[in-house]
Structure 1
Amino acid sequence: MDWYTSLFELIDMRSFSNLWFWIALAVVWSSASHWVLGVPFDLVQRARRIEGQSMVDLEDLTRINVNRLLYIGRVSGLWVMGLTCFILSALAVLGFAYELEIAQALFLLGFPLSLVGLLNLSTARLIETEHLRGEALCKRLTRCRLYTQMIGTLAIFVTALWGMYQNLSIGVLG
């Protein structure tokens, strides 16, 4: 038995029947909803409850991450968007036209995350233009988290449906 066969037995390329894919999906969406604009959501909750230094920390961390996101968007936004569209298009074609299951899984993970990236960029721009601070900042971050969770819930639902379809169709055909 060669290393190539051993590797592909260890890492099943049929993603939707692989437990590791579903664990990764859960971890990705859990992390995406916890880190709003790079700010941990427990800091938002603590700033609302305690205020004082916690609110200052929240405002500082949000300002740093908003400036970072907007700088990246202004300097290399078109390149990042072009590369992301290319990768997602390649995954969609490989996955759904050529029926490569790992490409389907990566597309179903990457496409909704790209929507969350756009949501974060939009939220960062709103925070900068409206000069949000205090409770208004907490509300905006909470709204961004809610929208991220909605995208994540829909993405998990669609991925689960597609994964069940793939597993059932392969089970029937195989």
Structure 2
Amino acid sequence: MDLPRTIFEVIDMRSFSNLWFWIALAVMWSTASHWVIGVPWDLVLRARRKGGAQQQDVEDLARIYTRRLLFIGRVSGTWLMGLVAGSLSGLWVLGFWYGIQFCQAVFLLLAPMSLVALLSLRAARRIEAGEDTGEALYRRLRAHRFTTQAIGLTSIFFTAMWGMFQNLSASVLGN
């Protein structure tokens, strides 16, 4: 008995009908909305309620991750933009032009996250420019989290619709 063949027969390896793809999608967006520019959201909520040491922790973490993001952006931002744009373009062509479902799935995971990365850089610049303490920092983190969640909700909805379309097409065509 051939174990890999048995696994592929038992588990449907098409991306959109695979449970692991949907788990990865949910975990990715849950993590992205919990860690706002490197600061855990529960710590932000606690800091707003209690202040003191928690507020200092939020400000320290925001300062550390802001400097880290901006350093990466300033040192290798052009190269990273080219690499990400080239990779996303390649995935789009392979996925949607040539119909490779795995590339479609990876594109639908990475394209919205690249937008979140750009928005994180923008938020980091604003934090560095003066929104780095107290209520101004909380407002910036809350706005960034809300935007991330909106992108995630839209992404999950579009991915679910596309995945259902792909699954229905595969079942109708008998692929």
Instruction: Name the TM tier (shorter chain).
Output: over 0.9
C-alpha separation in 2, matches of 1:57 and 1:126: 19
Q: Match of 1:134, as an amino acid? A: G
- 1:130 offset after TM fit, Å? 2.1
Per the normalisation by structure 2, the TM-score is 0.94
Q: Match of 2:128, as an amino acid? A: E
- 1:5 offset after TM fit, Å? 3.6
Q: Which runs of 5+ in 1 are unaligned?
A: none
Q: Match of 2:45, as an amino acid? A: Q
Which piece of structure 1 moves more, 131-140 or 103-112? 131-140
Aligned residues: 174
Per the normalisation by structure 1, the TM-score is 0.95
| Percent identity over paired residues | 61
Are the counterparts in 2 of residues 13 and 101 from structure 1 also a CA contact under 8 Å? no
C-alpha separation in 2, matches of 1:151 and 1:32: 10
Which piece of structure 1 moves more, 113-122 or 127-136? 127-136
- Post-superposition Cα deviations, 1:142-162, rounded to whole Å, max 9, x if no partner, equal 110000000000000000000
- Post-superposition Cα deviations, 1:26-46, rounded to whole Å, max 9, x if no partner, equal 000000000000110011101
4+ runs deviating over 6 angstroms? none
C-alpha separation in 2, matches of 1:138 and 1:30: 19
Are the counterparts in 1 of residues 123 and 140 from structure 2 also a CA contact under 8 Å? yes
Q: Which runs of 5+ in 2 are unaligned?
A: none
C-alpha separation in 1, matches of 2:132 and 2:39: 15
Cα RMSD after superposing both structures: 1.5
In the alignment, does 2:139 pair up with 1:146? no
Q: Match of 1:34, as an amino acid? A: H
C-alpha separation in 2, matches of 1:32 and 1:144: 11
